[in-house]
Amino acid sequence: MSQQDFNITTADANTGITYRAAVNAALQALASSSSGSAEPSTKYAFQIWADTANDLLKVRNSANTAWISLMVISTGRPAYIPSTVSSTELGYLNGVTSTIQTQLNAKQATLVSGTNIKTVGGTTLLGSGDVAVSAFPAGTVMLFMQTSAPTGWTKVTAHNNKALRVVSGTASSGGATAFTTVFASRTPTGSVGTTGSTTPGATGATTLSVAQLASHTHGVYNVANGDGSDDGLLRNINGDSDQYQNTTSAGSSSSHTHGSAAHSHGGGTFTGTAMNFAVQYVDVILATKN
């Protein structure tokens, strides 16, 4: 590094040695372009400075207010920045290692919607802002087990208190009575009216013979005469005491029947209020997304 203020003072000229030293220092500074990592302490218009810290050869402007870069010291490439180019614009070329056109040719081709860039729901990804992505097209009708419609959906109120019927054909709606009315707890009411005639049966008078009677006996009470004789109402077999005796068995254990005249019974019909089960319904279909 060699820098000097280029000012030969009176003190420098007191002796030949000091004067020569001051002149040599100034000449070395000129010869080395005042090289150094820091700018010279004393600056002059159009002064040359080799800025070793930034590898640039610079010249002082005419107003002596700033340095202008001339070239890169290590490569000898020009470093002059025209006044019409900003440092930001110059930064766009920083790091370029080959011709600009070569680097541009290696870049991706122009993006064209639907050709080399995909679209989402018919909307290209090119441009600014958000791309609205919907899993279902507008107008899709779905069932939700909740009171309010989800965000982005509108509740349909055209049908209320109706059943759902799955169909394989054309979907429609029908019925006449509300769902909760049809399936409410109800008891059928009405009356039963009888028809036809009844002829009562009868049996004629019948005299039963002994053979038709059930086997049985009759009891007889025998009173003793008290004198030991057997001249009571019935013969006293066991002495003078009173006795209760039975007659011999009579009758039969066989069965018998009673006749009855033929007759018939009439039928009846129920008359009541009809129960309406024509529940209101809305048809739905089953489908799977492709």
42-70 pLDDT, tens digit per residue, is 899 998 898 999 889 999 999 999 999 88
Q: DSSP label at 109?
A: P
β-pairing verdict for 268-272 and 163-166: unpaired
- Distance, CA of 223 to chain centre: 109
Mind listing the pLDDT tens digit for each residue in 232-251? 445 545 555 555 666 677 66
- Distance, CA of 135 to chain centre: 13
Residue 260 confidence (pLDDT): 62
SS3 29: helix
Low-confidence ranges of the chain (pLDDT < 50): 230, 232-233, 236
Residue 269 confidence (pLDDT): 80
Residue 66 confidence (pLDDT): 92
Contacts of 228 (CB under 8 A, 6+ apart): 239, 240
Residue 59 confidence (pLDDT): 92
β-pairing verdict for 281-284 and 173-174: antiparallel
Nearest CA among 32, 62, 13 for reference residue 3: 32
Mind listing the pLDDT tens digit for each residue in 189-199? 888 777 665 55
Residue 127 confidence (pLDDT): 67
Mind listing the pLDDT tens digit for each residue in 76-86? 787 765 556 66
